[in-house]
Amino acid sequence: MKNILVLCTGNSCRSQIAEGYLRHFAGDTATIYSAGIETHGVNPKAILVMAEDGINISQHTSNNVDEYINIPFDYVITVCDNANEACPFFPGNVERFHQNFPDPAKATGNIEQVMDEFTKVRDLIKVYSENFIAAHIKP
């Protein structure tokens, strides 16, 4: 079984969404973790947009990357430029991937506009996650 870590700045939105979708698409073929360079708590709007697509991330926790330093990861995916630059070294044969997604937590406007941004980012991460699993876990 492969170990996959999704890394972001605060482990609150993008990495949480990616963890949810990667788990969904991988099923029991991989163990998925998410972490941040910092921890900001799971964003309630991320929980909401994922629930709208049938994925429950309400029990996810916001974790610091240091908590996982001893796990032998096969893949580390950074989902923001800051995490890519600050990504720690993982020993072993770790394959790193980077895809910068917009931060929906920085969206401005009324609640509908903010939620539209969360939905847009969710949908981008969904496509990336499905393609990643198809290419690397279930080829």
Name the 3-class secondary structure at 84.
helix
87, 94, 107, 124: which is the annotated catalytic residue?
Answer: 87
* Residues linked to residue 119 through DSSP beta bridges, in sequence order: none
Catalytic residue among 13, 47, 55, 80: 80
To the query of whether residue 13 is one of the catalytic residues in this protein, the response is: no
Catalytic option among 4, 5, 6, 8: 8
Has 87 been annotated as catalytic? yes
Return the DSSP state at 89: P
From CA 96, how far away is CA 74, in angstroms rounded? 9
> Which residues make beta-bridge pairs with 32?
4
Query: CA nearest 12: which of 80, 105, 130?
Result: 105
Q: Would you please indicate which residues are annotated as catalytic (active-site) residues?
A: 8, 80, 87
